[in-house]
Amino acid sequence: MISQAIDNVTLMLMRGNIAEISADAIVNAANSALAGGGGVDGAIHRAAGPTVMQECRQIGHCRTGSAVVTTAGSLHARYIIHAVGPIYGHHADAAQLLASAYDACIDLAEKYQLESIAFPSLSTGAYGYPVVEAAPIALQTVIEHIGQAPTTLRQIAFVLFDERTFKIYAQELERILRPTP
């Protein structure tokens, strides 16, 4: 695990299953139909139980690059923020939409006055976004927000499933925080 203090916020990178994490909000890598699926979405809905899917059906839809909130069922969280990242190769403005999905989650976390949020690596599974391209966008978007005080968030975690994704995020964080001259 990597833990880095930035201003008043602790930014963490860890390996694991996001459905098992404790945080005020856990971010789901959802699809725009909020219909459930594999990967993060499957793990979260399996662990959260049927009430979350019922809420998703009622909400019905979420635009790519945006996010919606539900309760968290049996997860160790108060809320699930369902974020829809872009499909790589399908959305022309994929980088902008990916940043916008992370921004939408942070805006909702602030709106609900949450202190902790856990993100997966949005779009880098079924949606095909190369991790080397997605990691700098994910980290930069979150770090930019930390710079814009005041913020209720005190802990922001990226929960990364596999070693390769974790390593790329770790390298990218190092590069952002300690750029070589």
Active-site amino acid positions: 41
CB of 15 to ligand ADP, least distance (A): 9
**Of the candidates 1, 3, 7, 17, which one interacts with ligand ADP according to CB under 6 A?**
17
- If the CB atoms of residues 126 and 146 are measured against ligand ADP, the closer one turns out to be 126
Interface positions, 42-101, toward ligand ADP (CB under 6 A): 43, 85
**Of the candidates 12, 53, 95, 126, which one interacts with ligand ADP according to CB under 6 A?**
126
Which runs of consecutive H residues, i.e. helices, occur in 81-127? 94-111
Burial class (CB in 10 A: 0-12, 13-18, 19+), 167: middle
**Of the candidates 119, 127, 166, 169, which one interacts with ligand ADP according to CB under 6 A?**
127
- If the CB atoms of residues 65 and 120 are measured against ligand ADP, the closer one turns out to be 120
The residue nearest ligand ADP at its CB is 125
CA distances from 82 to 32, 118, 122, 133, 142 (A): 9, 12, 11, 22, 17
- 19 lies in the site for ligand ADP, by CB under 6 A: yes
Which residues 6+ apart lie within 8 Å of 84 measured at CB? 30, 31, 32, 62, 63, 64, 65, 66, 67, 101
Which residues 6+ apart lie within 8 Å of 90 measured at CB? none
List residues binding ligand ADP (CB under 6 A): 17-19, 29, 39-41, 43, 85, 120-127, 159, 161-162, 165
